[in-house]
Amino acid sequence: MPQELIIEPGRADRQYWRDIWRYRELFYFLSWRDILVRYKQTVIGIAWAVVKPLLTTVVFSFVFGRIAKLPPDGSAPYSVMVFAAMMPWQFVATSLTECSNSLIGNANLISKIYFPRLIIPAGSVITSFVDFLISAGLLVLMMAWFRWWPDFRLLSIPLFIALAFAASAGPGLWLAALNVKYRDFRYVVPFLVQTGLYVSPVGFSSKIVPERWRLLYSLNPMVGVIDGFRWAILRGETPFYWPGVGLSLAVTFLLLVSGIWYFRRVERSFADVI
C-alpha cells in the first residue's frame, strides 16, 4: 500500500512525531557521521575528551581545595568530588556549544532535503555524550587510584544522566533555533559556558552556598544535575536539599518544553532563512 502524502500550509505539524520515528535511521546516520568525523579529524581526538576535563579538574581541585580551602563533600577526595561534577558539566557545555552551531553547520542539508529538523540538535547532544562516556571511564580510573568506591546509590545514575540530557536539550534547542535567525547568538554561547562553569557548583560543593540563597541558587538547572551526580557517586554523604532539587527540575523541564515549542514554531521557516 503506497503511502499518501498531502502537502499544504500547516500540514507538517500534524505528521511531526510520526515523521521523527520514520526518520530514525537518518538520525542514527547523522550522529554516526558526527562521531566519526569528530574522532577522525584530530590525532588527539579521543585524548582531547580526556585531557580537557582532567586538567580542569586538577586546576579546580588545586584552586578551590588547596588555596581557597573549601570543604569537600563528606569524606570523598576533593578531586573526585570535582570530577563528579565536571563530567555532567562538560557534557552539558559541549552539548550547548554543538547544538547552537548545529543547524548553521548543516545548512546545506536543511536547504536541500526534508527531515524533522529536531534530529540535528538532538544528534549534537548524542555526539557530546560520547565524550561523557569517555570521561566516565576516567572517573572509574580515578576512583581506583583514590580507592574510593561508590555504593548502591550509583544505580540511580541513569536518572541523573537523563536529567543532564534534558538540561542540555532545552537551552540547546532555544539557542539552535535563535542562532538560525539571529546570527549574533553564537557570541552568547561561549559567554554562557564560561560563566556557567563558575556559577554552577563544579569546583565547590553546593552546600557552601548560604542557606538563604540556596533556593535562588537552584534556579540554575545545573545545580540539580550536579548535586544529583554527586549524590549518586559520592555515597550520598551530602543529603539532598530537596526544595532546590525540585526547583532545578522544574526549571529544566520548563526550558525543555519551551525549547521544543519554540523550535517547532520556527522550524518550518529554517529552509527559507538559513
Partner 1 sequence: MSDPVITVENLGKKYRIRHQHQRQRYLTFRDLLADKTKRAARRLWSAARRPLTSDLRPQTSTPPAHEDFWALRGVSFEVNQGESLGIIGSNGAGKSTLLKILSRITEPTVGRARITGRVASLIEVGTGFHPELTGRENIFLNGSILGMSRAEIQRKFDEIIAFAEVEKFLDTPVKHYSSGMYVRLAFAVAAHLEQEILVVDEVLAVGDAQFQKKCLGKMREVGLHQGRTVLFVSHNIQAVKLLCSRSVLLKEGNLLAQGPTEEVTRCYLAENETTGAERVWPREAAPGDATLRLLSLKVAAGNGTTSSELCSDEYVFVEMLVEISSLNDALRVGFELLRADGTVLLTSFHNDTATSEWPPLSLGSNNLRCQVPPGLLNAGRYTVAPRICIHCVRWIVYEPPTVEFDVRITHGRSHFWMGNAPHPGAIRPVFHWVRR
**Per-residue contact flags (x/-) with partner 1 for residues 19 to 38, judged by CB under 8 A:** ------xx-xxx-xx--xx-
Q: Whole-angstrom Cα distance, residue 209 to residue 220? A: 13
Q: Minimal distance in Å, beta carbon 9 to partner 1?
A: 6
Place of cell 546545506: 108
> Does residue 16 belong to the site contacting partner 1 (CB under 8 A)?
no
Considering only residues 84 to 143 of the shown chain, the ones binding partner 1 according to CB under 8 A are: 108-114
> Does residue 5 belong to the site contacting partner 1 (CB under 8 A)?
yes
Q: Minimal distance in Å, beta carbon 174 to partner 1?
A: 12
Residues in Cβ contact with 207 at an 8 Å cutoff, skipping those fewer than 6 apart: 73, 238, 241
Give the CA radius of gyration of the chain: 20
> Does residue 265 belong to the site contacting partner 1 (CB under 8 A)?
no
- 57 touches 83 (CB < 8 A): yes
> Does residue 268 belong to the site contacting partner 1 (CB under 8 A)?
yes
Q: Minimal distance in Å, beta carbon 33 to partner 1?
A: 5
Nearer Cβ to partner 1, position 103 or 223? 103
Select from 207, 252, 254 the least CA-distant residue to 230.
207
By CB under 8 A, name the one of 3, 152, 210, 242 that touches partner 1.
Answer: 3
> Does residue 272 belong to the site contacting partner 1 (CB under 8 A)?
yes
Select from 62, 60, 63, 38 the least CA-distant residue to 49.
38
Q: Minimal distance in Å, beta carbon 186 to partner 1?
A: 10
Nearer Cβ to partner 1, position 23 or 240? 23
Q: Whole-angstrom Cα distance, residue 28 to residue 126? A: 10
> Does residue 8 belong to the site contacting partner 1 (CB under 8 A)?
yes
Nearer Cβ to partner 1, position 41 or 75? 41
DSSP symbol at 186: G
Select from 83, 123, 88, 81 the least CA-distant residue to 102.
123
Neighbours of 124 (CB within 10 A): 28
Task: Enumerate binding residues for partner 1 (CB under 8 A).
Answer: 2-12, 25-26, 28-30, 32-33, 36-37, 40-41, 108-114, 178, 181-185, 268, 271-272
